[in-house]
Chains A and B, each alone.
Chain A
């Protein structure tokens, strides 16, 4: 039986906010830098 992931300590909105920021700061930045480095 799959366990729900709702019972985490960090609120969902905060988790999403940090996750989005980190994703843009890493994947987004790295790919744009790869484009601009040419």
Chain B
């Protein structure tokens, strides 16, 4: 009689333990995967933050303020020349200051263009070298100031200009060279790949621009991750143009859809009608992020598969033709 409760208790314990093990087996990997995913998201957020900081710093470098500060003595010089009735000096100093301001403005635009260029890896449109032009205008302004303002001889004034240009190049650099975005690996339709990448990049840029109008940090972060994934996919296609065929649906359908949805949401957000859409938007963004992630993984796996095939082919060849 006393054995039966003991047996049933041990049976219960045993079944409890079994259930516990089953539960752990079922949920632990998911928990670990979730933690890993969260860690990856946090790392991505940190990278985004750093990138934005670097971009902001590159748009307005502190050392570029010197181009505004150093010509300041020309303002009192112009005023004094006017007050003392020296018309030639007044015009010379005024023109020189205007040239310095023009050079500083061009340089600022050049910095902006440089940052934008880094985000437009596949655009081949020729841009005006604003920063180089800014440096030349600063050099001209310096030479003109030395000649007309400080009354130096022409060769000395020219030396001032050359020195200023050299200083400009050393401090701010000139326009960076552009490398071809797509690697030419013997792919027959290189132009088609480049064109597809350019169009896709335009879509990403318009998503980025639209997302800057969204104020909810959570949605913003998700959009940042989506954009980063889309850029990773484009980089992967550029590295291996053969991937274009596999990513056609991503380029033609998903990216287009994402762009339309984001633009539509931003429009509704501006009109103050986005509250009812917020949940649906959040859901669709989660889906887009997941699909983009899967697409990227598929391209990476495909690379591994290609490598695996190459290794097998090489191994077979070596075995067949190698030295005895």
A interface, CB within 8 angstroms of B: 1-5, 15-16, 18-35, 37-38
Chain B residues closer than 8 Å to A38, beta-carbon distance: 77, 80-81, 84, 86, 89
In the complex with contacts A3-B176, A30-B160, A35-B76, A22-B167 CB distance below 8 A: yes
Distance, CA A27 to CA B124, complexed state (A): 36
Most buried by B among A4, A25, A26: A26
Asked if B179 and A27 sit within 8 Å, CB to CB, the answer is: no
Task: Give the interface size class of chain B.
Answer: 35 or more
| 28-83 of chain B: CB within 8 A of chain A | 63, 66, 70-74, 76-77, 80-81
- Chain B residue numbers with a CB within 8 Å of A37 are 89, 149-151
Contact flag A31-B163 (CB < 8 Å), given A5-B173, A38-B77, A38-B81: no
B164 adjacent to chain A (CB < 8 Å): yes
Whether the Cβ atoms of A26 and B163 lie closer than 8 Å is: yes
Which residue from B74, B167, B176 sits with its C-beta under 8 Å from A19? B167
Of A18, A29, A30, A31, which is within 8 A of B170 by CB?
A18
Question: How far does the alpha carbon of A15 sit from the alpha carbon of B173 in the complex, in Å?
Answer: 10
Chain A residues with CB below 8 A from B152, complex form: 33
* Chain A residues, CB < 8 A from B89: 37-38
Closest A residue to B77 by beta carbon equals A35
Give CA–CA (A2, B156) in the complex, Å. 36
Asked whether, in the complex, the Cβ of B81 is within 8 Å of the Cβ of A31, the reply is no
Query: Which listed residue, A2, A5, A22, touches B163 by the CB 8 Å rule?
Result: A22
- Decide yes or no whether B142 CB sits under 8 A from chain A: yes
* Chain B contact residues, CB within 8 Å of chain A: 63, 66, 70-74, 76-77, 80-81, 84, 86, 89, 92-93, 96, 100, 114, 117-118, 121, 138, 142, 145-146, 149-152, 160-161, 163-164, 166-171, 173, 176-181
Provide a sorted-by-A list of 21 A–B residue pairs whose CB atoms are within 8 angstroms: A1-B180, A2-B177, A3-B179, A20-B167, A21-B167, A22-B166, A23-B70, A23-B171, A26-B142, A26-B161, A26-B163, A26-B167, A27-B142, A27-B164, A28-B70, A30-B150, A33-B146, A33-B149, A35-B77, A37-B150, A38-B80
Instruction: Flag if A35 contacts B151 (CB, 8 Å).
Output: no
Instruction: Chain A residues near B169: list those with CB within 8 A.
Output: 19
Among B81, B142, B181: residue with most chain A CB under 10 A: B142
- Inter-chain contact B181/A2, CB cutoff 8 Å: no
B93 nearest in chain A by CB position: A34
Determine the distance from Cα of A2 to Cα of B74 in the docked complex, in whole angstroms: 37
CB-based nearest A residue for B139: A26
- With A20-B171, A34-B150, A38-B86 known to touch, is A25 a contact of B77 (CB < 8 Å)? no
| Distance A18 CA – B207 CA, assembled complex (angstroms) | 42
Q: How far is the CA of A19 from the CA of B138 in the complex (A)?
A: 14
Taking a contact as CB atoms under 8 Å apart, the answer to whether B114 and A2 are in contact is yes
Interface centre among A5, A19, A31, A37 (most CB of B within 10 A): A31
**In the complex, what's the smallest C-beta–C-beta distance from A6 to chain B, in angstroms?**
11
The listed residue (B114, B149, B163) touching A25 by CB distance below 8 A is: B163
A29 to B142, CA, bound (A): 9
Residue of A nearest to B74 (CB): A31
Measured CA separation A21–B164 after assembly (Å): 10
Q: In whole angstroms, how far apart are the Cα atoms of A35 and B150 in the complex?
A: 8
How long is the Cα–Cα vector from A21 to B284 in the complex, in angstroms?
56
Asked if A35 and B173 make an inter-chain contact with CB atoms under 8 angstroms apart, the answer reads no
Complex-state Cα separation, A28 to B146, whole angstroms:
10
